[in-house]
A and B are shown apart, each in its own frame.
Chain A
Amino acid sequence: MTESGIGEKEIDLRIKILKEDAKKRGYNLNTDELLVRELVSGILINKKRYGFESCPCRLTIGKKEDNIDIICPCDYREQDISEYGCCYCALYVSEDVEAKKKTAEPIPDRRFERQDSENHKVPDNCAGIKNLRLKYPIFRCRVCGYLCARENPPQICPICKAVSEKFEKYL
């Protein structure tokens, strides 16, 4: 056991699963194994402490509903990897960073930018789209952008494996 009460085996197992999933789904884990260990341990501590796997490098304040966006993988991973070469905590990196063609530097947190603008929603001037009579609502995965038309969002995103809470009603 580590000082945090999370077993080394638990961390090993989670890293193994994350690595396999990342490869399958077109993501790359950071090659800095020590850092990955710290981050995964932090995620598991947060799970124990808060009941959900929030980002180890962000402060979790309040209820789960207020922190859905920072449950790992966070809503900002895609954009951060394409813009900076890694996600905020650097658990996930771009192919170039993985291949060591680039290095991952500390990056700014775009979490609060988004809270200001909420520009991921369909804008109000698209009334025509908003008033469509759809047989099924369309849900969007906030982590990877996957869209699906069905009564309820899936339990797990078939593309990136995000949990159902990560889905928002898009149309």
Chain B
Amino acid sequence: MTQWTHVAGKGNRNLKLYALSTCGHCKKTKEFLDESKVSYDYIYVDLLSQDELEKVYSEMKKYNPRGSFPTILIEEIDVIVGARIDEIKRLIDLND
């Protein structure tokens, strides 16, 4: 089973955060999402078993071919690569 964790919050858009548990920028991004109190799902790709990791990582690379973290996927359309807080803010606000 793929271990996505759901964080309950405002809105019902499909917001996914692919993160690494060791990465400071992923942590900043996650903290921002937590503070904004939006509803989202996150996964720590580095903590997955090898099979799950390959599956989730190749799925993520469809959206961000470089495979870098954090990668945020909004409604399976918009992709934000890196802890670009302003851009996340803009896209979240835009969809409100």
Contact = CB atoms under 8 A, between A and B. Distances in A.
Interface stretch (B1-9, B20-28, B34-42): B20-28
Given A59-B57, A106-B82, A90 B68 contact: no
Given A108-B66, A108-B68, A57 B24 contact: yes
A92 to B, nearest CB: 13
Contacts of B53: 61
Contacts of B45: 59
Contacts of B82: 106-107
Interface residues of A, number: 22
Interface in A86-124: 89-90, 106-109, 112
Contacts, number: 58
Nearest to A91: B24
A89 B28 CA distance: 13
B25 A89 contact: yes
Interface stretch (A39-47, A73-81, A156-164): A39-47
A39 B25 CA distance: 9
A105 B63 CA distance: 21
B30 to A, nearest CB: 12
Contacts of A90: 24-25
A109 B68 contact: yes
B53 to A, nearest CB: 7
A58 B23 CA distance: 8
A56 B20 contact: yes
B66 A46 contact: no
A57 B23 contact: yes
A60 interface: yes
Contacts of B73: none
A38 B27 contact: yes
Contact of A56 (B23, B81, B83, B84): B23
Contacts of B27: 38
**Can you list the 6 inter-chain pairs with the closest CB atoms, starting with the nearest?**
A106-B82, A42-B22, A38-B24, A56-B22, A57-B23, A109-B68
5 contacts: A42-B22, A45-B21, A56-B23, A106-B25, A109-B67
Given A38-B23, A90-B25, A108-B66, 14 more contacts: A38-B24, A41-B22, A42-B20, A42-B22, A45-B22, A56-B22, A56-B24, A57-B22, A57-B25, A59-B20, A59-B46, A59-B67, A61-B53, A112-B67
